[in-house]
Structure 1
Amino acid sequence: MAGDEARTRAAEIVAAKWKAILDSGDELINPTMPRAAYANPRLRELFPIVSHGALYLSRCIRPPRAHDVGALFRRGGGGFMVIRHSDGTVLGEPETVEEAINLIVANLPDVCGPAIDGTADDL
């Protein structure tokens, strides 16, 4: 695939995945989490994954994925936790989802653009 065609295809896959998550209601995840992430233009370009009620974002759409973007978890007692799984760093435990999203954005990798149609090895 040519560069522009690959970027367009990756953007379509990312958009479809966001739509599926946003349309899922509260069955997979508290809907405020993906809605808040999707509202941020930088995070909207990343590939979203929901697992066990947490929101993960990746710079690539194929496994193995990079784990260098903060993942968003709800804390049992209230509030949120943001963890970067590539090195196990807890980036913070903010009280609001908006603060959690800002924390993820503030800790994005230096060369973080739209998700690519590839794996972590292709970054």
Structure 2
Amino acid sequence: MNLDDPSARRWQRLPTTWQRMVDLSGGSEPMSQGVLALIEAAREEPELRRLYPYTSHFTLWFSASTGHPFAVTAPAVEPLPDGRFRVRGPRQTTVLGEADTARAAIALVVANLPAE
């Protein structure tokens, strides 16, 4: 991992940030646990690691740029209160699907990445 790359640094820091949130809640916050599971699953995907990950409102996003305004062309994914996960298109207006596991949700994100 090249830590001179802003995306690589972000992939390294983001799970630590969300692990702290889970720890602070005593593990009682399922949405935080869901986001952490999504981040950990997404880190395993080379296609996603080249993008800049960020979170907003318990949703994991992927950007082609490392700063504002973010260039979001990839699907976003969010945990649901029932422990499942929802994948939405980049504009959040289209639901691409739901999955029972974070790994399956991330696989749906990768399957719907734009060709470029």
Question: Common fold, TM-score beyond 0.5?
Answer: yes
> Which has the higher relative contact order, 1 or 2, with Cα contacts under 8 A spaced 6 or more apart?
1
Which residue does 2:55 correspond to in 1? 50
The one-character-per-residue Cα deviations of 1:83-123 (angstroms, maximum 9, x if unpaired) are 11336211111111111011000100110xxxxxxxxxxxx
After superposing on structure 2, the runs of 4+ consecutive aligned residues of structure 1 that deviate more than 3 Å are none
Q: Select the residue among 84, 90, 95 that pairs with 1:90.
A: 95
In the alignment, is the contact (CA less than 8 A) between 1:14 and 1:45 conserved in 2? yes
Mapped partners of 1:80, 1:42: distance in 2: 20
State the secondary structure of the residue aligned to 2:95: strand
Query: Is residue 33 of structure 1 aligned with residue 27 of structure 2?
Result: no
Query: Is residue 80 of structure 1 aligned with residue 85 of structure 2?
Result: yes
The one-character-per-residue Cα deviations of 1:31-80 (angstroms, maximum 9, x if unpaired) are 21101000111111110001222211111112222222111101112200
Mapped partners of 2:84, 2:94: distance in 1: 18
Normalised TM-score (structure 1): 0.74
- Identical-pair percentage: 32
Normalised TM-score (structure 2): 0.78
Query: Is residue 18 of structure 1 aligned with residue 11 of structure 2?
Result: yes
Unaligned runs of 5+ in 1: 1-7, 112-123
Unaligned runs of 5+ in 2: 23-31
Aligned-residue RMSD, C-alpha: 2.0
Mapped partners of 1:83, 1:66: distance in 2: 16
Q: How many residues align?
A: 103
